[in-house]
Amino acid sequence: MQILIIDDQQLVRLSVEKYLRDQGYAVTAVADPYTAISLLGQERPDLILLDINMPGMSGLEFIRKIQTMRVASVPVMILSGNVQEKVISEAFELGAVDYMKKPVSLSELAARVRNLLGCPLPYVHPYSRMGTSRVQEHCVGVVIPCYNEGDRLQEEIFQEFVDRNLGYHLCFVNDGSTDNTLEVLQRIRKGRENQISIHDCAQNGGKAEAVRQGMLHLAQDPQLDYIGFLDADLSTDFTDFDNLVQTLKTGPYGVVSGSRIQRMGANITKESARAVISKGINLLIRTILGMPFKDTQCGAKVMHRQLVPSLFREAFVTRWIFDVELFMRLRQQFGRDTAREMICELPLTRWIHADGSKLSMRDSLKIGFQLLKIVKTYLWQPRPQTSRTEVEVTEFPAVPVAEQVPSETH
């Protein structure tokens, strides 16, 4: 039995293709409806698995198009993140036999296909590890900077995450490590080359530069909707990071940043001395930014892909507090008031200080001097503001939003 998959997101398309092949189906996967129409002129599949939101020709337009072809009777199943009732109704009116809303597990997808086509194998394994994977609504790129992390990288956690969350792409940036970090990263990536990449830097440039290079690298991938970064030690775990993504997806924001606020119901662990220093530094940062931030330095942030080129084009002037520079660049481009509306701080449920952190107490004390450098660069040499249209950010509206972060208690 032959299945034709049409989906412009490679991360989704290749994963679904592999899983259905493992179930015993013959599968052809293409990235756009135009290529699919060309193939349909030569062969007739038993099922078409179709996305709705694709550039050039939508899924609904594709269904209308094939109704005039000899494959008009081929059943069409929809797999899409578009949950508008009008779109779903129209798809069924046009003859779609099923409509699956992302996120959806591969095991459910395969069960629906088997219900329609039957099982091509005498025995399949619908509950395999890959079967529990979810096809995501949006594709997300995550930059993970690494410098001499060979002994701390949690290989199985990274692998299991990409196996279960189709639509995520992890980009590890090896920042000139002198230990076995690169070998460990290559081991993590093996067999998952479409979901994990390695950006190898010949020399150590510091976390700020590693994140900058990784963000610009991922921004070149048009299938990614959102791009963020996360610390290699997973002091912020993937569950909290996915919560940042969900907030970005459903809210009127351009950037969502994790916030390590100590509160009831959250497991936030910091060194006592570091906490005292960060409290004083945070006061300085709030004053400089003119924004009521609770925590700018959390190593977990995610943003719309269209913002990345303008925010990361230039090298940062500081080594450890480039996060502050990011918010200063937003303020410069859009103005303070609009920047405040674009940023959401989301409290984390877990953050654990990991042993072996590269930021020493001595480095923490130097941050005050780095803040002076930021003032000189961004406040004493102001730049012209940029409109939203100049960076082609249209997904989120420019409307005021309610404060979402409770009072800081640490």
Q: What share of the chain is helix, strand, coil (3-state, %, to 5)?
A: 40, 20, 40
Torsion from C-alpha of 154, 205, 195, 227, nearest 10 degrees:
110
**Side chain identity at residue 346, one-letter code:** L
Which phi and psi angles does 358 have, rounded to 5°? Answer: -80, -15
The answer to whether domain 2-131 and domain 138-391 are alike in fold is no
Closest C-alpha to 403, from 231, 261, 240: 261
Q: In Å, how far from its chain's centre is CA 81?
A: 15
Question: How far is residue 142's CA from residue 236's CA, in Å, rounded to a whole number?
Answer: 13
Angle (CA) 206-210-211 rounded to 5° is 120
Per-residue pLDDT of the chain (410 residues; tens, 9 = 90+): 899 999 999 998 988 998 999 889 999 999 999 999 999 988 899 999 999 999 899 999 999 999 989 888 999 999 999 999 999 999 999 999 999 998 899 999 999 999 999 887 665 555 455 556 888 888 999 999 999 999 999 999 999 999 888 889 999 999 999 999 999 999 999 999 999 999 999 999 999 999 999 999 999 999 999 999 999 998 888 999 999 999 999 889 999 999 877 665 555 565 544 555 566 667 777 777 777 778 888 889 999 999 999 999 999 998 878 998 999 899 889 988 899 899 999 988 877 665 555 555 565 567 777 888 888 888 776 555 555 444 444 445 433 333 333 333 33
Question: How far is residue 74's CA from residue 44's CA, in Å, rounded to a whole number?
Answer: 8
Question: How far is residue 98's CA from residue 96's CA, in Å, rounded to a whole number?
Answer: 6
Question: How far is residue 278's CA from residue 275's CA, in Å, rounded to a whole number?
Answer: 5
390-404 residues labelled b (16+ CB within 10 A) or e (exposed) = ebebeebeeeeeeee
Structure-block tokens of residue 357: 């952190």
Positive or negative, the Cα torsion across 189, 191, 192, 198?
Answer: positive
Positive or negative, the Cα torsion across 150, 152, 155, 158?
Answer: negative
The CATH number of 2-131 is 3.40.50.2300
Bridge partner list, 145: 173
Which top CATH class is 138-391? alpha beta
What residue spans define the domains of the chain? Answer: 2-131, 138-391
Torsion from C-alpha of 287, 290, 295, 298, nearest 10 degrees:
-110
Order of strands across the sheet with 98-101? 26-30, 2-6, 47-50, 76-80, 98-101
CA atoms within 13 Å, Cβ hemisphere of 27? 21
Question: How far is residue 374's CA from residue 377's CA, in Å, rounded to a whole number?
Answer: 5
* pLDDT of 408: 35
Whether the Cβ atoms of residue 109 and residue 79 lie closer than 8 Å to each other: yes
